[in-house]
Structure formats: C-alpha cells, structure tokens
Structure 1
Amino acid sequence: MSAQVRAAQEGDEGAFGELLRAVQPGLLRYLGVLVGAEAEDVASETWLQIARDLGTFQGDFAGFRGWVAAIGRNRAMDLLRSRRRRPVSTVPVEELLGDRPAAEDTEGAALTTVGTASALALIATLPRDQAEAVLLRVVMDLDAVTAARVLGKRAGAVRMASHRGLRKLAKLLDTPPGPAETTTEPDIRKSPEIDSASGVTPTTAPTLKGLR
C-alpha cells in the first residue's frame, strides 16, 4: 500500500480511494468509541483534511495510518471540547457479554468471542488512555511508536496502557454469564500486549481480530 500512498500524492484518485477503503473501517471504529454516532461526520472531516494536506505527508503506509489516526483524533478531541463531554459507553457491561459462547462450548472455553459492536462497547468502558491504546494498537493496527506519536506519549506508556486495557477486558470476559444466543464474529482472541503478560496465555487473552 505504500505505492498507493505515493500515487495518491501524485494525484491518482484511484489510489486515494484504495487508501480510504483500507483505513476507513478501523478509523470509524476508533472514532466511534471517542464520539459515538458522530464518528462518520468526524471521519469525513478527517479525510477532507487528508486530501488537502496529503502532499505534506512523508512516509510509508504504516506511517500513513498513524497520520490518519492523529488527524481523526484531533478532530474528535475538538468536537469533544466544544461540547465538553467525554467518550462513554451507555450500554451496561452485562448486556455486552450476552453473545458469548456457553460454558460447555469447548471452543468457546478456549477462545473468548464477542460481536464487533459489543467488543467496541466493552473497550469504551475502559479508562480513556487504555481504550485509545487498545484501539490504536489492535483496531487500527499501529505499532507502539506510531500510536505513541498519535497520543503524544512515550511508546512504553502506550504499551503499558494497551496491556492493562486488554487485561481488564480479559477479566470482564473471564466468567461466562450463562448459555448465550449466537456468536457471529470472533473478535477478541489474542494480542501482542497480552502474549507476554504473566499469568495470561494467548488462549484466554482477548484481542480484536475482526475489528480491523
């Protein structure tokens, strides 16, 4: 995709469209946790700025994703400041766990699975620094250094926040609420932040595969 970045900078509209399609899903999920229903409006403003400033960008596709995330976050923070509100989840946690597999489901016992919307809503219940770190690292697929630049923090701090957030999600999902309806999207399974954590193994740790 780095070739598409260069082509888009040279005015190739098709390449710009490919970049948008590649990055937009993760951006919308990230912004959805920050600003809720206004995510699409903020994303539109983000892409307008990207189209205007694309010639100033320097870097590859990985850097481009981080650049998009930073612009989107700035737009979201401007909106939140203007309305003096913070990103919150209004859905009770117990409702978010309702689509988990039954306890007797052997595959479900090994892999924690929740639907995409529920996973994002669960992330929104985390402290903001942890929620953003998880979203940037797992949903937008940024490395720790790039995510740190987006958040204006050190890479180590972002790794720690992501690790703590994923540990909290693992604890939330540790005890099944009982037999569930159906599970449609396996989203939370494994993360590099959790793999090395003491006492948490890849089979029990959550990740957000499927949210990207």
Structure 2
Amino acid sequence: MTSNLGWPPEPDLATTVRAAQHGDDEAFRVLYRQVQPGLLRYLRGMVGDDAEDVASEVWLQVTRDLRRFRDEGAGFRAWAAGIARHRALDHLRRQGRRPMVTVPADVLVDLPTGYDAAEQAEQAAATRAAIAMIATLPRDQAEAILLRVVFGLDAKASAHVLGKRPGAVRTAAWRGLRRLAARLDRQADLPGVTAPEQGLRPSASTIRPFATGE
C-alpha cells in the first residue's frame, strides 16, 4: 500500500508470516520488529502506561495462535491489532476503566506552534503527547485514528479490526481530526499561548485519504 499519510510503503509480511508459522525464529523476530512499534503506540492510546504489559499478552497469544492464522484479506498487522484491541478492552474492563486515557489540557498547550492537527499527528505519532491527545477523543474517533494514523492500517483493515464498515471508519477518523483542530484552535486562544502563523485545521491533502479510503 502506498500511503498518502506520510508512511513508507508497508512491507509485504506474507512470506515472513509463512516462515514463522513453520518455526523460523528469525522470521518471527522480523515480524516483531515490524509490528511492535505501531502496536505499542496503538495500545498506549488504549490503556496508557499499561501498554507494554498488554503488548506482552498480545505477543503471547500471537505466538500461541500463529499456526492457525489465515489471512482473510486484512493481513497480519490487522490480525495482531484485533488481538491487541480485545486484550486492551479486557484489561480496561478488569480495572473498571473507560477506554482511552485522559490527559490535562496543558498537554495540548505544550504542543509546538504551527500545528496542523493531522500532519503533526502523523509526524509525532510516536510521542506520548500525540497519543494522549488522540486518546481524549470519543472512542470511535480515537480508535479510527489510532489504527489508521498510528498503526498505519488502511480503511478496510481498520474496519476489519473494529467490526465496522470502511466508510464508518473513514468518517470517524475525519471527524476526529476536525475535532482535534477545533480543540487546538481553542487552546491557541488561551492567554500566554501564541497563535500559530498558519491555520490549525487539517489541510485538504491530509484529510483526503480518510475521506476517500486511500
């Protein structure tokens, strides 16, 4: 997939997955290195500081079930993301917590000036501040952005994970990005916060992939 979100083309993991299913330890390590960073960022948006613990549970299940994995069109990343989502929601239910962490408003104030909500979410997705910002959105919007922007899945794969239609995922992501832009506009008007020289609302080039499903 050639991404319009600034991500490099996703490597083809099919051959690596087949090798790992046949017991190739090096192939499994390659899968881990390719998937773990995005998986951890996604989980950080779901469970906050417990992300590494939940990720460990995810990889234990992946190890156990890998031989039974069959690509249904969404790919290995989506399969791993689906496991991660179920594990994260189970974790939150055990703790009696709502999905997504909450953060104080000053996390948003500390974001750099010249902020374009979608562009900077893509570029800074690895930072805790960006993940925390996304996590303040309504759950459907946050999950759509976490899967599409943070984990790098396309609309079809994200829909597979969430059990929704691709159009619903695209709409949720678009609404979430617009909400982020509006929130950052309000933060820019606070005393002591310098308004960016350029607009805070997502540009057409960054919104378009979510609207078209690219």
Give the TM bin, normalised by the shorter chain. 0.7 to 0.9
Given that 1:162 and 1:193 are in contact with CA atoms closer than 8 Å, whether structure 2 keeps it comes out as no
In structure 2, do the counterparts of structure 1 residues 62 and 193 end up closer, same or farther at CA, with 3 Å as the change threshold?
Answer: farther
Residue of structure 1 in register with 2:49 after alignment: 37
Matching residue within 178, 200, 207 for 2:194: 178
Q: Which runs of 5 or more residues in structure 2 are unaligned?
A: 1-12, 197-201
From 153, 158, 165, the counterpart of 1:154: 165
Query: Which residue is 1:169 aligned to?
Result: 180
CA contact (8 A) 2:89 2:99 kept: no
Instruction: Tell me whether 1:126 sits opposite 2:137 in the alignment.
Output: yes
| Residue correspondence of structure 1 range 69-84 to structure 2 within 5 A | 69-84=81-96
- Flag the 1:137–1:131 CA change in 2: closer, same or farther, 3 A: same
Specify which of 96, 119, 123 is matched with residue 108 of structure 2.
96
Q: TM-score, structure 1 length as denominator?
A: 0.76
Q: Is the 8 A contact 1:5 1:60 kept in 2?
A: no
SS at match of 1:100: coil
Alpha-carbon spacing, 1:129–1:56, altered in 2? closer, same or farther (3 Å):
same
Residue matched to 1:58: 70
- Gaps of at least 5 residues in structure 1 are 102-107, 181-188, 199-212
1:152/1:113 CA distance change after superposition, 3 Å: closer
Query: Does residue 1:139 correspond to 2:165, yes or no?
Result: no
Answer whether contact 2:108 2:184 (CA < 8 A) is retained.
Answer: no
Q: Percent identity?
A: 54
Deviation at 1:127, TM superposition (A): 0.2
Gap change, CA 1:192 and 1:5, over 3 Å in 2: farther
Letter in 2 for 1:13: D
Aligned residue number for residue 22 of structure 1: 34
Instruction: Label 1:191 to 1:155 Cα distance change in 2 as closer, same or farther (>3 A).
Output: farther
Deviations 1:131-181 (A, max 9, x none): 00000011111111111111111111111111111111222334643289x
**Aligned 8 A contact 1:163 1:193 in 2:** no
Distance between the aligned counterparts of 2:25 and 2:205, measured in 1? 35
1:142 and 1:109, CA in 2 relative to 1: closer, same or farther beyond 3 A?
Answer: closer
TM-score (norm 2): 0.76
CA–CA separation in structure 1 for the residues paired with 2:203 and 2:37: 20
Tell me, yes or no, if the aligned pair for 2:102 and 2:135 is still in contact at 8 Å: no
In the other structure, the counterpart of 2:4 is none
Q: What's the CA shift for 1:47?
A: 0.5
SS at match of 2:153: coil
Q: Which residue in the other structure is 2:207 paired with?
A: 194
